[in-house]
Amino acid sequence: MPIWSNVETLSRDELRKIQSQRLRHVCERVYERVPFYKKAFDEKGIKPSDIKSIDDIVKLPFTTKADLRDNYPFNLFAEPLSNIVRIHASSGTTGKPTVVGYTRYDIEMWAEAMARTMSAAGVTKYDIVQNAYGYGLFTGGLGAHYGAEKIGAAVIPISGGQTQKQIMLMQDFGSTVLCSTPSFALYIYDEMQRMGINPLSLKLRVGIFGAEPWTDAMRKDIEKHLNIKAIDIYGLSEITGPGVSFECEEAQSGLHVNEDLFYPEIINPDTGEPLPYGEEGELVLTTLAKEGIPLIRYRVKDITKLNPEKCICGRTFVRMDRVRGRSDDMLIIRGVNVFPSQVESVLLKSPEIAPHYMIIVDRKGRLDEMTVQVEVTPEFAEKYCKTMLSEDGKKFAGENDEMRKLKNIAQKNIKEIIGVNTNIVLMPPQTIQRSEGKAKRVIDNRPKE
Ligand code: DLL
């Protein structure tokens, strides 16, 4: 596949020059224009003129989500509102959303980042892109929309939800690309099954999935069921939206960070110390070309690592690992750190288990207890569990040897690989709640300390 921009294959030296020059510029701008940054720089005794090259980035202060909230809604903007042409926001679990503003140039750069992203997935002007990311304050919908249009593909702006209509349009319009969360892609597949539609009868060829953690095991499931190539894309609204990093169709191994636009670092989340390439830690991103709301060393809370090796696709941008989850989604079960995505990869080692699960954490006495409800595949249910269904069909009333065997293997694998005891509850197909946007994987019933 042709590479969208020459920037993607620059030598590391050439790229560093661009990064250094842009970092100097962004530091000058925020120091002059955003009182929050003037104060943060002054407190560290740093002047923009101290920043000579990209290596000096470690001298700069961090920005956190709390800083965005404290400056709600517009106080971190580096441009007057008259120059802002779009406002997005992401809803947090608590309180007010975090708000981001884009100038016309920012929208253009975002479209560029997304055009690179979608090209790397193999999208061209001949494609029909069904965009099932939500349109609205969420950045998924409009981000993918502008990227696909920039490439010249035909976009169907259907947004999330309306599962049956999604399928009808796929059939009638011959959509070749699906953009959605991975969990919604599986939901669409389930609905196809119910409607008796064979995915092989569709023209769908690529899925561009992101906005939530998912695993390679889930990728394989989606690729097999929908008969497509599934590509992982990553981003967050604070930094711009989708388009921060993306997999290429050639390697499907690590996400190329659009490094001329967003500079990535990995830090130790406890000490804030920068970590070398290859070590896992918290991702920190600096926007190098944003006007509306530039962010310096934004602590993203996502856990990953960086790989500088050149990719077989020819791109030289560093690659970040598939994000395991946010540090704030990490569960601590009797002292063991557990990411829902780890549980997912272990479960999906058993081909009889479907990629629909819910982790429930309770406290019994002083001890944490983790239960994982997980669906068996329709094939397994049909073959072994028919007589076991409860009257309402929403759970299994009993267990037979086959079910016990499956459950024990999953429990043993989770204990061995992740190190926690779990109670696996096998569920009939279609009983775990489906999602049309970001999936909810955890119910934590423990009292808040
Ligand atoms: O989810 C932007 C986006 C839209 C990305 C569409 C990709 C596709 P927010 O709602 O601000 O923005 O949520 C950002 O979602 O910090 C991660 O924790 C998580 N996330 C996003 N993409 C991935 C991914 C959009 N590919 C937060 N893998 C981020 C794992 C992801 N987690």
Residue 212 beta carbon below 6 angstroms from any ligand 1 atom = yes
Pocket test for ligand 1, best of 142, 240, 323, 440 (most atoms within 8 A of CB): 323
Residue 250 is predicted with a pLDDT of 98
Mean pLDDT, residues 125-154 taken together? 97
Which candidate, 418, 425, 422, 442, places its Cα nearest to that of 368?
422
Q: What's the pLDDT score for residue 415? A: 94
Cβ of 326 less than 6 Å from ligand 1: yes
Which residues, listed in sequence order, are joined to residue 206 by a DSSP beta bridge? Answer: 177, 229
Q: Measured from the CB, is residue 141 less than 6 Å from ligand 1?
A: no
**pLDDT band, very low/low/confident/very high, at 96 (cuts 50, 70, 90):** confident
All CATH 3.40.50.12780 domain ranges of the chain, comma separated, are: 6-328
Residue 135 has pLDDT above 60, yes or no: yes
Which residues have CB under 8 Å from 432's CB, separation 6+?
356, 357, 358, 373, 374, 375
List where CATH 3.30.300.30 sits in the chain. 336-444
Task: Give the model's pLDDT for residue 416.
Answer: 93
pLDDT value for 1: 72
- Residues 356-403 pLDDT 10s: 999 999 998 888 999 999 999 999 999 999 999 999 989 999 999 999
Q: Which helix (H) or strand (E) holds 6?
A: none
- Dist. CA 12 → ligand 1 center (Å): 27
pLDDT digits over 321-355, tens only? 999 888 888 898 988 889 999 999 999 999 999 99
pLDDT value of position 330: 87
Q: Which CATH class is domain 6-328?
A: alpha beta
Atom 27 (ligand 1) nearest CA: 236
Q: Check: CB of residue 388 under 8 Å from CB of residue 403.
A: yes
Residue nearest to atom 1 of ligand 1 (CA): 211
Q: How far is the CA of 288 from the centre of ligand 1 (A)?
A: 20
pLDDT at position 93 over 60: no
What does the mean pLDDT of the chain come to? 95
- What pLDDT was estimated at residue 449? 63
Query: Which CATH number is associated with domain 336-444?
Result: 3.30.300.30
Residue 410 in this model has a pLDDT that exceeds 90: yes
Nearest to 328 by CA among 95, 88, 92: 92
Mean pLDDT of 244-265: 98
* CA–CA dist 289, 278 (Å, integer): 26
Pocket of ligand 1, candidates 133, 179, 236, 285: which has the most ligand atoms within 8 Å of its Cβ, to mutate? Answer: 236
What lies within 8 Å, CB to CB, of 445 at 6+ separation is 360, 361, 362, 363
Cβ–ligand 1 distance for 303 under 6 Å, the answer no
Question: What does the alpha-carbon distance between residue 150 and residue 133 come to, in Å, rounded to a whole number?
Answer: 17
What's residue 225's pLDDT? Answer: 96
Contacts of 112 (CB under 8 A, 6+ apart): 5, 150, 261
Between the two ends of the chain, the Cα-to-Cα distance in Å is 52
Tens of pLDDT, residues 171-204: 999 999 999 999 999 999 999 999 999 999 999 9
Spacing, Cα 385 to ligand 1 middle (Å): 37
- Determine the average pLDDT of the residues in 122-126: 98
Q: Which residue has a Cα nearest atom 22 of ligand 1?
A: 211
CB 7 within 8 A of CB 118: no
448, pLDDT greater than 80: no
Q: Is the pLDDT of residue 314 over 80?
A: yes
Confidence of residue 94 (pLDDT cuts 50, 70, 90): low
Which pLDDT value is given to residue 313?
98
